[in-house]
Amino acid sequence: MSFAEIAGQEDSVALLQRSLERGRLGHAYLFHGGDLAELETVARTLAKTVNCTNPQRSSAAGLPLDSCDACLSCRKIDGDNHPDVMWIRPESKTRVIKIDQMVQRKDSLRPLLPAMHLKPTEARYKIGVIVSADRLNESAANAFLKTLEEPPSDSILILLTTELQRILDTILSRCLRLSFGGEMSGRRDEALNEWLGVFAGMAAAEQKSLLGRYSLLSALLTKLAQIKESTGEAVAKKSPLEFHDDVDSKLKDKWEDELSAAVEAEYRRERSDLLTGLQWWLRDVWLQTLQLGEEMLSFPGLASAAQRVARRISSQQAMENLQVIERTQRLLTTTNVQEALTLEVGLLKLNL
């Protein structure tokens, strides 16, 4: 994907391209927003653009503005096999980025920071992308901070986070920050829209009995089960276990642990996206209780269902719904609560 194909983030992409046009490429960027996959897409596109062999340019003086998305360098970056583009993600069962991922590893995988100080193998810039940078543990963050203070030449570090408030101030102050929030990106996800339409229709029906509430819970848990299954299949395809049969047993065990952790991390992200979509629809309900215009709605196609719920509750109750979903998200993200029970309690508290 090129910058021209990234929809919904035109303003932030334009700011990034403007700095490229002026030849003012930063040594460290922090991309934040509500969709981690979207942030990864932007980071990957930036890596392709600055290393593209046939890029779009506005002038000979400026840096490339966009990638061709077709040359060998672009294809390697898309395939995660470019020697000068490295990705770091939370690997352990505790979903943190550890010091050995940044500085020294006992397995065959390269630590990020020493590699960043080497000259590029075949590209113009070495790129290091830290996915979920808010998950850096203290020692990893401190090691990374030293590199930020004395950045290596011909390198770009890109941090991605959906939880900006968890990034250390000392790291924030040394990065160029770009927000990719804007419109809730889930609105462009057809699968989310389809499921949310079904859920909204069920919620719009009279909710006078517990049976109706548990029908909503069943719809939510069924969708999450589908997400977990598809996530496991997708992440497993990228695991080294898929490409290396004859490996040391200890390394195999490590890869299996990392696969399990990666599946859980991706599932949590997608679960968060689903609940965020639900929260935005409940925001539409709140807006309808205030009798504001449909042009402000996140899901105009679901306005009818939102209106039906809005007629039954007050604006205060609608606001309480948003707070319920926010608390539910926080519990699922920061604690080891039982998922089904937490979602059950949350749905029973909603004013519908």
Range in 5-19, 61-75, 177-191, 232-246 the model is least confident about: 177-191
Same domain (yes/no): 195, 278: yes
- Maximum Cα interatomic distance, the chain, rounded to a whole number of Å: 68
Task: Check pLDDT > 80 for residue 333.
Answer: no
pLDDT band of residue 285 (cuts 50, 70, 90) is very high
* Residue 151: φ, ψ to 5°: -65, 140
- If one compares 119 and 63, the residue with the highest pLDDT of the two is 119
* Per-residue pLDDT, 109: 55
Same domain (yes/no): 309, 200: yes
* Per-residue pLDDT, 204: 92
Q: In this structure, what CATH number is given to the domain that contains residue 120? A: 3.40.50.300
Query: Which of 105-109, 241-245, 344-348 ranks highest by mean pLDDT?
Result: 344-348
Same domain (yes/no): 223, 296: yes
Task: Check pLDDT > 90 for residue 21.
Answer: no
* Helical ranges in 22-137 per DSSP H: 36-51, 72-78, 99-102, 112-116
Distance between CA 82 and CA 114 in Å, rounded?
17
Same domain (yes/no): 204, 288: yes
Question: Which DSSP symbol is given to 157?
Answer: E
Number of domains in the chain: 2
Task: Give the domain-ending residue among 182, 207, 226.
Answer: 182
- If one compares 333 and 147, the residue with the highest pLDDT of the two is 147
Same domain (yes/no): 136, 267: no
* Per-residue pLDDT, 225: 94
Range in 43-52, 110-119, 228-237, 270-279 the model is least confident about: 110-119
Same domain (yes/no): 230, 344: yes
Token pair of 72, please?
A: 């060998």
The burial class, CB within 10 Å (0-12 / 13-18 / 19+), for 248 is exposed
pTM equals: 0.55
DSSP SS3 for 126: strand
* Per-residue pLDDT, 189: 66
Same domain (yes/no): 23, 163: yes
Of 293, 297, 271, 287, nearest to 321 by C-alpha is 287
Same domain (yes/no): 263, 167: no
Token pair of 147, please?
A: 């590199």
Task: Give the domain-ending residue among 167, 182, 197.
Answer: 182
Distance between CA 60 and CA 69 in Å, rounded?
20
- If one compares 14 and 76, the residue with the highest pLDDT of the two is 76
* Per-residue pLDDT, 186: 42
pLDDT tens, position by position, 164-210: 778 887 888 788 888 886 544 444 467 888 999 999 999 998 767 78
pLDDT tens, position by position, 24-35: 788 889 998 878
Same domain (yes/no): 206, 270: yes
Same domain (yes/no): 88, 219: no
Task: Give the domain-ending residue among 160, 182, 204.
Answer: 182
Token pair of 10, please?
A: 């035109």
pLDDT tens, position by position, 33-59: 878 888 999 999 999 999 999 888 765
Same domain (yes/no): 314, 173: no
pLDDT tens, position by position, 83-137: 999 898 887 666 788 888 888 654 445 678 888 888 888 988 999 999 999 888 8
* Per-residue pLDDT, 49: 93
Average pLDDT, the chain: 84
Burial of 16-29, coded b for 16+ CB within 10 Å and e otherwise, reads bbebbbeeeebbbb
* Helical ranges in the chain per DSSP H: 10-21, 36-51, 72-78, 99-102, 112-116, 138-149, 169-172, 190-204, 210-236, 249-289, 303-310, 315-334, 339-349
Of 20, 51, 49, 46, nearest to 31 by C-alpha is 46
Percentage of the residues of the chain whose pLDDT score is greater than 70 = 91
Cα distances from 350 to residues 136, 150, 211, 249, in angstroms, run 35, 51, 14, 49
Cβ atoms of residues 260 and 303 within 8 Å:
no
Four-CA torsion 281, 283, 284, 287, nearest 10 degrees: 170
Cβ atoms of residues 96 and 137 within 8 Å:
yes
* Per-residue pLDDT, 111: 77
Distance between CA 39 and CA 32 in Å, rounded?
7
pLDDT band of residue 343 (cuts 50, 70, 90) is very high
Range of the domain at 317: 186-349
Same domain (yes/no): 218, 151: no
